[in-house]
Amino acid sequence: MSFTAILRKSASAATPLASRLVRVGQRDYHSALFSALKRQVNLPWKSPSFVPFLQRYCSAATETLRPSSTESLLRVIESEIKDAQENDDNDRVEEIPKDFPFKIDDNAGQQTVILTREYEGELVKVEVHMPDFVTGEENDVDDDKEQPVQSSIPLVVTVSKKSGTCLQFNCVAYADEITIDSISIGVPETSEDEMAFDGPNFHDLDENLKKGFHKYLEIRGIKASTTNFLHEYMISKDSREYMGWLSNLKQFIEA
């Protein structure tokens, strides 16, 4: 029998054995395949030309069985893109209500949206951050009960006078509710090295004073109807930004 016929016969006989050897470790793969082939046919193992051939065969089999880390990562990214497209309506564009009082400045790739408007000579600027999602109460005793997902959006509201003086409110908007965490006064003449007094904790203020500040923001457009729309808008933006991030990541890996 010719040497070529022997190799063809040995490769054919070893195919099912090689498939069973996929689970062995890389260290034992080559030696196990050599032993399996040796038992199948009587090959000239001392031939100087046969050993390099079999080594090349084993190396090619290993490369076939082990996809590169880049290919594996791309498959995961593509799967995530597909899942995101199926689960989210990323093409939806939130329709701005006719009575929405702010101009929206939304740049792709940014984590915030900027709202601006003028009110009686003042400039009202709102920095809207990505939503935070929570599920029920952390100390809920009924851990097995599924809790509804709630979202909140952090807001930084700045009301500026023409003189440059401003009031800055750090707020959090929930469904039909807006809370104020702190208020600070900005003075243009203040040096960066000076520590301005930010005032007391907002929650420690007199109840009438707290209600007055909430009313102050409400007449400038920071009210439930505004923030409820912003909830939907920012959730939609979060989905769009995630899809864009995945797409940019895929393009970088493929380049």
In this structure, the answer to whether residues 56 and 159 fall within a common structural domain is no
Q: Provide the β-strand partners of residue 113.
A: 128
Cα separation, 12 vs 36, in Å, equals: 12
In this structure, the answer to whether residues 125 and 234 fall within a common structural domain is yes
Per-residue pLDDT, averaged over 44-55, amounts to 52
In this structure, the answer to whether residues 110 and 204 fall within a common structural domain is yes
User: Does pLDDT of 24 surpass 70?
Assistant: no
Q: Provide the β-strand partners of residue 150.
A: 134
User: Does pLDDT of 106 surpass 70?
Assistant: yes
How far apart, in Å, do the first and last CA atoms of the chain sit?
50
Place of tokens 């929930």: 174
Domain annotation covers residue 88: no
Residue 191 — pLDDT band, cuts 50, 70, 90?
Answer: low
Which of 17, 49, 66 marks a domain boundary?
66
Residue 68 — pLDDT band, cuts 50, 70, 90?
Answer: confident
Per-residue pLDDT, averaged over 89-94, amounts to 56
- pTM listed for this prediction: 0.65
Cα separation, 176 vs 227, in Å, equals: 8
- Is 214 in contact with 204 (CB distance < 8 Å)? no
In this structure, the answer to whether residues 61 and 122 fall within a common structural domain is no
Domain that holds residue 155: 103-138+147-254
Residue 144: per-residue pLDDT:
59
Cα separation, 129 vs 126, in Å, equals: 10
In this structure, the answer to whether residues 59 and 108 fall within a common structural domain is no
Q: How does pLDDT run across 201-235, given as a tens digit for each residue? A: 898 999 999 999 999 999 999 999 999 999 999 99
In this structure, the answer to whether residues 122 and 233 fall within a common structural domain is yes
Residue 147 — pLDDT band, cuts 50, 70, 90?
Answer: low
Domain annotation covers residue 93: no
User: Does pLDDT of 94 surpass 90?
Assistant: no
Place of tokens 């498959």: 75
Question: Pairing mode, if any, of strands 112-119 and 103-105?
Answer: antiparallel
Residue 167: per-residue pLDDT:
94
Assign residue 115 the CATH number of its domain.
3.10.280.10
In this structure, the answer to whether residues 164 and 250 fall within a common structural domain is yes
Domain annotation covers residue 72: no
Domain annotation covers residue 97: no
Domain annotation covers residue 81: no
Total domains in the fold of the chain = 2
Domain annotation covers residue 77: no
In this structure, the answer to whether residues 131 and 31 fall within a common structural domain is no
Residue 81 — pLDDT band, cuts 50, 70, 90?
Answer: confident
Query: Mean pLDDT, the chain, as a whole number?
Result: 76
Which of 66, 92, 118 marks a domain boundary?
66
Which of 66, 83, 117 marks a domain boundary?
66
Domain annotation covers residue 195: yes
Cα separation, 246 vs 238, in Å, equals: 12
In this structure, the answer to whether residues 60 and 110 fall within a common structural domain is no
User: Does pLDDT of 9 surpass 50?
Assistant: no
In this structure, the answer to whether residues 118 and 32 fall within a common structural domain is no
Token pair, residue 108, equals 């792709």
In this structure, the answer to whether residues 36 and 107 fall within a common structural domain is no
Helix pair 50-65, 26-40: axis angle to 10 deg = 130
71 vs 59 pLDDT, higher one: 71
Residue 15 — pLDDT band, cuts 50, 70, 90?
Answer: very low
200 vs 189 pLDDT, higher one: 200
In this structure, the answer to whether residues 55 and 115 fall within a common structural domain is no
Domain annotation covers residue 78: no
Instruction: Report DSSP letters for the chain, one per residue.
Output: --HHHHHHHHHHHHHHHHHHTTTS-HHHHHHHHHHHHHHHS---TT-TTHHHHHHHHHHHHHHHHS--HHHHHHHHHHHHHHHHHHH--TT--PPPPTT--SEEE--TT-SEEEEEEEETTEEEEEEEEPPEEEES-TT-S-TTSPPPEEEEEEEEEEEE-TTS-EEEEEEEEETTEEEEEEEEEE-TT--TTS-----S-GGGS-HHHHHHHHHHHHTTT-SHHHHHHHHHHHHHHHHHHHHHHHHHHHHHHH-
